[in-house]
Amino acid sequence: MDKPLEPACIFSERAQQLTSSAIREILKVTERPEVISFAGGLPAPGGFPVEVVRAAFDKVLATNGRAALQYGPTEGYAPLREWVAADLTRAGATVSADQILIVSGSQQALDLLGKVLIDKDSKVLVEDPSYLGALQSFSLYQPQFVPVPTDEGGLIPEAITPELAAGARALYALPNFQNPTGRTLNLERRKALVARAAALALPIIEDDPYGELRYAGEPQPGLLALGAKAGATVIRLGTFSKVLAPGLRLGYIAAPQAIIQKLVQAKQATDLHTPTLTQMAVYEIVKDGFLDEHLPAVREIYRRQGRCMLEAMEREFPAGVSWTQPEGGMFLWVTLPAHVDSSALLAEAIAQNVAFVPGAPFYAGKPQANTLRLSFATVPEDRIKAGIAILGKLLATHV
């Protein structure tokens, strides 16, 4: 067999720094139907409103097809921006459509923020552990990540000292059902966080993809709303991936206009604008209150499957293993005895057709190898029970 030709190009320093997502690599294994996968952070397909989405696309194409298939403004489809602003205002913030940028999923939002905020060696504060996709996106711009300690209550505001925050471009945080831990900041910590950010002139990037998936406990105000009262700069990221479907690739950024203007310029150089047809169809879906009717059933899927996993872990996992008790979202965070390496455990689990994500890649600071993330979102209850039983037996041989 002939040897493949090497590409006749020299990769940039930035390209040479690129690495594959640990989760995406694991997902290649989980494509086998016999594998019970707790690895992916994918929404439950049973929550996708297929017929409603189909009808919306049909209506847009039938009534306004030429405009839907044309180029659009970089900022996004005006009625959808107005809807997002009104939705955030109902939640306690005061936001205008001029403060909204529609993006191609919140992952693009992270990339755009990296472009406009981060220089090489810039300090960026992140929860420890934090969302792997954000670490991967920001890493392209070669920041200096500064881990902020967390505990069972999530991020610890008091840990953000003037020395820690000095010169930092932003703090990246997920206050609701955090990925990977499933933890949620309580009201006291939220108020303390925005007050500290205001005092230190530290912008907060509030990433909230899971906030609408609460199925227990009391809703908490967003950092965007609290930040306005405290005088803090909060950049909020939202997405339609978890409330409608990720295949739509539609999200938004809410921020002060000066920041939005820079993000618009960066997006113009990236993809000109988010697909007009998709924006118009999503607006058609949400404009008359569909999400209020749709989301209770979606939340029930996650509540039921999350409860099933927690009950199975109580039965099957040995003493010495602990885990979080999320009030919403899609994830559980498991802490093993200090001597157990979850990466080594993963190889044994995959050999028995069970997959999860080791915890180490989620740390910007020193990795804690004795942690792992489980997702219950796409796994039927019978397979949850079977997979947790297999994991429990494996753990019993290590603890």
pLDDT at 1 over 60: no
Give the pLDDT confidence of 238-271 residue by residue, as tens digits: 999 999 999 999 999 999 999 999 999 999 999 9
How far apart CA 170 and CA 161 sit, in angstroms, is 14
Give me 170's structure tokens. Answer: 């932003």
Confidence of residue 19 (pLDDT cuts 50, 70, 90): confident
Average pLDDT over the chain, rounded to an integer? 95
| CB contact set of 349 (below 8 Å; sequence gap of 6+) | 355, 356, 390, 391, 394
Please tell me the predicted confidence (pLDDT) of residue 181: 98
pLDDT band (50, 70, 90) for residue 9: confident
Assigned token pair, 21? 């997502």
What are the backbone angles phi and psi of residue 169, rounded to the nearest 5°? -80, -30
pLDDT computed for residue 18 by the predictor: 75
Q: pLDDT grade, residue 285 (50/70/90)?
A: very high
- 301/53 Cα distance (integer angstroms): 19
Q: Give the Cα separation of 136 and 159 in Å (integer).
A: 24
Task: Kindly report, residue by residue over 186-228, the tens digit of the pLDDT.
Answer: 999 999 999 999 999 999 999 999 999 999 999 999 999 999 9
Alpha-carbon dihedral sign for residues 274, 117, 121, 159:
negative
Indicate whether 172 pLDDT > 60.
yes
Query: Has this prediction a pTM greater than 0.75?
Result: yes
Q: CB under 8 Å to 122, separation ≥6 — which residues?
A: 141, 143, 144, 167, 168, 169
For 90, what's the count of Cα atoms within 13 Å in the CB-facing half-sphere?
A: 7
Mean pLDDT calculated for residue range 315-328: 97
Structure tokens at 134: 């954000």
Q: Using a pLDDT cut of 70, give the percent of the chain over it.
A: 96
Provide mean pLDDT across the span 331-350: 96
Would you state the structure tokens that stand for residue 52, as one six-digit string? 């409603």
- The radius of gyration of the chain from alpha carbons, rounded to an integer in Å, stands at 21
pLDDT tens profile 109-132: 999 999 999 999 999 999 999 999
**pLDDT of the residue at 30:** 66
- Binned at pLDDT 50, 70 and 90, residue 399 comes out as confident
Residue pair 179/210 in contact by the 8 Å Cβ criterion: yes
* pLDDT at residue 6, rounded to an integer: 66
Q: What angle do CA 166, 171, 177 make, to 5 degrees?
A: 150
**Per-residue pLDDT at 186:** 97
Compute the distance between CA of residue 222 and CA of residue 201 in angstroms, rounded to an integer. 19
C-alpha to C-alpha distance for 217 and 153, rounded to whole angstroms:
14
Q: Which pLDDT band holds residue 22 (cuts at 50, 70, 90)?
A: low
Per-residue confidence (pLDDT) for residue 69, from 0 to 100: 98
Spacing of C-alpha 275 from chain mean position: 21
Q: How confident is the model at residue 12 (pLDDT cuts 50, 70, 90)?
A: confident
Residue 4: per-residue pLDDT: 60
User: Of 339, 370, 372, 371, nearest to 354 (Cα)?
Assistant: 372
- Domains of the chain (ranges, CATH numbers): 13-49+292-397 (3.90.1150.10), 69-289 (3.40.640.10)
